[in-house]
Amino acid sequence: MARRSYELSPALAGLLALALAACGARDPDPNLVRFWAFGREGEMVRELVPEFERRHPGVRVEVQQVPWTAAHEKLLTAHVGNATPDVAQLGNTWVPEFVALEALAPLDVRLAVSRAVARADYFAGAWDSNVVDGVTWGVPWYVDTRVLFYRTDLVAASGAPWPPRTWAEWRQAMARIKQRGGAERYAILLPVDEWDKPVLLGLQAGAALLDAEGRRGAFRDRRFRRAMVFYTDLFAAGLAPPVTSSGIANLYQQFAEGYFAMVVTGPWNLGEFRNRLPADMQQRWATAPLPAPDASAGYPGVSLAGGASLVLFRHAAEHDAAWRLVEFLSAPAQQARFYALTGDLPSRRSAWARTDLDADPRAAAFREQLGALASLPKVPESEQIVARVAEAVEQVVRGSRTLDEALAALDADVDRMLEKRRWLLEKKAGEARP
């Protein structure tokens, strides 16, 4: 019990770091590139570095691997302590935040003359997630989005038209699967504490989540409300179990058991499903792009633009070797090698052609989905906002609030989160006026 106070000491250390944030200039070594990458990517990118160093004699790359769970905090404290690397991998939902911190170097000038990084070759939605206020701050390294993973046998047995192209078809297929499965089996798994599904349904329905300029929440918008009616009704109708992600002990085992027939998840699960599902299950799962709200909305419906980008930190804006590393890692051949090492989907179409991805029917759904991506609102508060969305929707699913109450409370909370942003926008507007 007494030791508990020590467990908070990182918090104190962080406060201290902020308090002591001193400005220490460091002399950059033009031949040393300090590169931070996270988790498995950080481990695997080391395999690519020797080739870069061979092509650029004299340049040395120092790769530091940071665990994903610590990545965000570590980058922020590094920024405060003036100890950011030259190049880093950055989750693309973090880009607006680091732009607001003025931590990144704009890349447009370099991109204009770069032959190695060709914007047209990238999935447009992934590229767009790196553009804030018209300026490009990162180059997509690998991409990530959500599609539908499903049990082919359960879907076929239900006799529903497949793949569903609209919400109505999707809902109908789920109802049929549930009807055959009985009380203990569900059509779809949507862990109620996760924000990505409700948010992407809202984006599909055309909701912007925030108003223009991101000054206030726009969750009472009729389009968002429509998506939430669709989403929460899946629980009310018993098509999805009201479980949290911690209530799923083993996703793969429960998928194989038929506890649920569909799940909306990302590309890392292509490998996981192959490795973790039993052998007799291997021919019984497939993937499909997400349905759209209506036939008129175009197929597939949008999904979230995830993945990670390569960024230059501000102090490395003039660091040519650092930029050459970004170019090197962006080359289709290196992206293909990186895919072979990590299973991360390449961000460039020409890199896909160099892999076995085009021949894999399960990856085809991702390829199709990557043509229809949407980003979260590009404000630094967006992660906090979407976490709050998950809370609001969970309240509705659990019946502790009606949908309209929950959305009104959500808008009020989001407005409070954006108060500082409104103040800054007004301050900026005041300064711009003569």
Partner 1 sequence: MSAVPRESTGTPKEARAAWWLLAPALGAIVLFFALPVVAGLLLSFSDFDLYAIADPRNARFVGLGNYARLLRDPLFWKALGNTFLLVAVGGPLTLAVALGGALLVNSRLARLRGLYRTIFFAPVVTTLVAVAVVWRALYHPRFGLFNQILGLFGVPEIDWLGHPRWAMFAIVLLSVWRSFGYCLVILVAGLQAIPETLYEAARLDGASWWHQLRHVTLPLLRPTLVFAGVITTVGFFQLFAEPYVMTRGGPLNATLSIALLMYQQGFRWWNMGHAAAIAFTLFALILATSALQVGLRRREARR
Copy the structure tokens of residue 298: 């175009």
User: CA–CA separation, 174 vs 192, rounded Å?
Assistant: 18
Interface characters, 315-354, with partner 1 (x: CB under 8 A): ----------------------------------------
**Residues near 309 by beta carbon (within 8 Å), at least 6 away in sequence:** 89, 90, 92, 95, 129, 130, 137, 138, 139, 140, 141
Within its chain, how far is the Cα of 40 from the centroid? 16
How many CB atoms sit inside 10 A of residue 295's CB? 11
* String of contacts with partner 1 for each residue 18-57, x by CB under 8 A: xx--------------------------------------
Q: What are phi and psi of 374, to 5 degrees?
A: -135, 150
Query: Tokens at residue 165, please?
Result: 């192209």
Shortest CB 193 distance to partner 1, Å: 5
Q: x/- string (CB under 8 A) for partner 1, residues 400-419?
A: x-------------------
Q: Identify which of residues 18 and 353 has a Cβ nearer to partner 1 in the complex.
A: 18
- Taking CB under 8 A as the criterion, the residue among 394, 406, 414, 418 binding partner 1 is 394
CA distance 154 to 165: 18
Shortest spacing between CB 78 and partner 1, in angstroms: 11
As to burial, measured by CB atoms within 10 angstroms (0-12 exposed, 13-18 middle, 19+ buried), residue 433 is exposed
Residue closest to 128 by CA, chosen among 116, 139, 113: 139
Site track for partner 1 across 243-262, x = CB under 8 A: xx-xx-x-------------
Q: Count Cβ neighbours within 10 Å for each residue of 43-59 and write b for 16 or more, e otherwise.
A: ebbeebbeebeeebeeb
Which 164-223 residues touch partner 1, going by CB under 8 A? 192-193
Pattern 59-98, partner 1, x by CB under 8 A: --------------x--x--xx----------------x-
Contact between 431 and partner 1 by CB under 8 A: the answer reads no
Q: Is 380 in the site for partner 1 (CB under 8 A)?
A: yes
Provide the binding-site residues for partner 1, judged by CB under 8 A: 1-5, 7-8, 11-12, 14-16, 18-19, 73, 76, 79-80, 97, 100-103, 192-193, 243-244, 246-247, 249, 380-381, 383-384, 391, 394-395, 398, 400, 420-421, 423-424
